[in-house]
Structure formats: C-alpha cells, structure tokens
Amino acid sequence: MNIVSSKSRKVKSQSGKHPKISREHQQRIQKLRQSSTPLRERFREDLTLHKFALRTIERYMDAAITFVAYFNRPPQFITDDEIRAYLRYQSETRRLKSGSMWIIHGMLKYLYTKTLRNERPVLDIFRSPKDAPEKIILSQAQVAKALQCVHDIRYRTALELVYSCGLRETEALHLTVHDINRPQGLLTIHGKGSKDRMVPIADIMLEKLTILWKSHHHPELLFPAYEPWRRSGAPRTGTLDRPIIGQTLLLVWQKAVRESGFTKPINVHTLRHCYGTHLLEEGASERSVQDNLGHRSSRTTSTYVHQTAKRTRQSADAVEQIAQNLSR
C-alpha cells in the first residue's frame, strides 16, 4: 500500500519550509490530542517508568499521535510496509532533519518493542545520519555587542546567564531561587535526562540575578513570564507562574543579533557553543569545560554527579573573565 499520495509528493518550497501536512491529517491530530485511549496511557506510563526526560516523553507522545492520525487506525494494525513508507515520507518528502527523524524512530521502536511487544524488523534497518551543521561562534566582543541590543532586563539577563554559564535554554529559564549557592558561587542545573550538575557563576552575574529578582519578586522563578501586553507599546509588566517561553527568548535574541550587524543565522544555543570556546580561550581545561556543559559521555556521567565545590570551581576564573567582558 502506498501511503504517500501524489499530492503530498512536494519538495520544499523556495522559502525552505517543510511541506505542510494535509488539513485532514491536522484535524485528526487535534481530535486525538483532545481524547485519550488505554494504549496511549500505557505508552506514557511505560516511558515514565523508563525514566525518560519529561521533554522526551512529550515529544514521543506527540510523534505517536501524529503517526496514528496519519493512518487513522490503531498502531497494531499498521503494517511494516506502511511504517517504511511513513519514514520515507517524513524523511524524503517532508525532509525532516535527523533530530526529528530520531524522535519518530525512537517513538516507533519503543511503542512496538516495549509497549505492544510486537517486533517490527523494518525499524532495525532505519538509519538517519547526524546532521553536522557548521557551528557558528561569535567572538566575545560580538556577544557583548549583541547583548547590548537587548533592552529588557528579564530577557537580557536570561541570555547573559545562558552565555556566562554555558546553559541550555531550558536549563536557564527553569532556574529557581533555590538553585543558587551564593557562598560557593555555584548554580545547580537540572539538565537533560534528569541529571543535575553544578556550574560556577561569576560574582557579577550573581549581582545581575539579584537585581533582576528585585524587579519581579517571584517566590520561586528567576525568569517568570510576563503578563500579556495590555496595550501596544506599553512596557512589559507583571509575572506569571511559569517561565519565559523559549520561542520568545529566541525571537528577542535573533532581533538583537540582527541589530548588532551580525547576519549569519544563529539561535540561543549558539551562546552555549560560544561559552565553551571562550572558556578554552581563557585557559580553562577541556575537562572542566566538559563538566560545566554537562556533555553526555561515560567519563562525564560517572564524575560530574559527584563533583565537589573545589572541582567545579576549577574554571571559575575563566567564567569570571567572560562575564566581566560583557560589561566592558
């Protein structure tokens, strides 16, 4: 059965966007999201018991809903040939990147192998090569110049923290006042895969966080989202009991980068790459940078959980230096 209609065999448009899914498919997705089934609840429970990160669980669940909505029937009645055609559709017709394809494949593999106990040989031959886009690294001066174009204190401090501590966007935005160890100059970071780590934070960055917190006084969050704008052009005020949305921070950062005169496409994660590069330039050891970034490897995983304050502060001088450079 060929599940890819001739109508859907469109290449990417000149704008570079993926071909959109059909309206009928989208309507089925929305309908499934508003309902539940015993199989879907068991799948979520299995993922939770497996200790997948919450973000991974949500991505798998969303991918599963999209998959089932595509065929409009339960997954146990979808054939190997149809699964193969679905993977080709997402990879070749919609041209999803490898990260998105790994989510789809991981979801299918776990759903059929673990939850349904139904081995599907087609999933064993899937391979999606890792995308290897060029890492764009801004100089310390370019980072400082772009950050100066962010005038809102809440957004600017969040971006400065991402850069000066090498955090992932979600790690920074979900920080709370309880994650700061001011006497030792450390932050407790709740990273990917529910793995915590400690990273050094510069004194000047601690002061900026204090100033920021005094501007909103939220009892928990360092970066609470603003209340919706009441009128056009009015300053952002108030706080919500949820962090700033990552997409909002991305738009603010990209606007600032353009205003600073930098033309290459970058995102918030670029600041994390800049952090690692700039620490090494300032003389920090490769091992301490790896620990600070929380990179997944057998060596890192086995050591950073047991870091002492002394070990974690090995790169503190370099961290202090790049944070100081933001104020020049």
Architecture of domain 20-124: Orthogonal Bundle (1.10)
304 catalytically annotated: yes
103-146 pLDDT, tens digit per residue, is 999 999 999 999 999 999 889 887 655 555 567 889 999 999 99
10-residue mean pLDDT series, the chain (328 residues)? 36 48 89 92 94 87 96 95 94 88 94 94 76 73 96 97 95 95 93 82 96 94 84 65 92 96 91 87 80 63 31 58 74
pTM for the model: 0.60
The one catalytic residue in 50, 88, 192, 258 is 192
The one catalytic residue in 18, 190, 195, 269 is 269
70 catalytically annotated: no
Q: Write the DSSP assignment of 167-196 as a string of letters.
A: --HHHHHT-BGGGEETTTTEEEEE-GGG-E
Class of the CATH-defined domain 140-227+236-325 = mainly alpha
The one catalytic residue in 272, 273, 278, 313 is 272
Quickly count helices (H) and strands (E) in the chain: 15, 3
The domain ranges of the chain are 20-124, 140-227+236-325
295 catalytically annotated: yes
Report which of 243, 270, 244, 266 is spatially closest to residue 255, judged by C-alpha positions: 266
269 catalytically annotated: yes
86 catalytically annotated: no
208 catalytically annotated: no
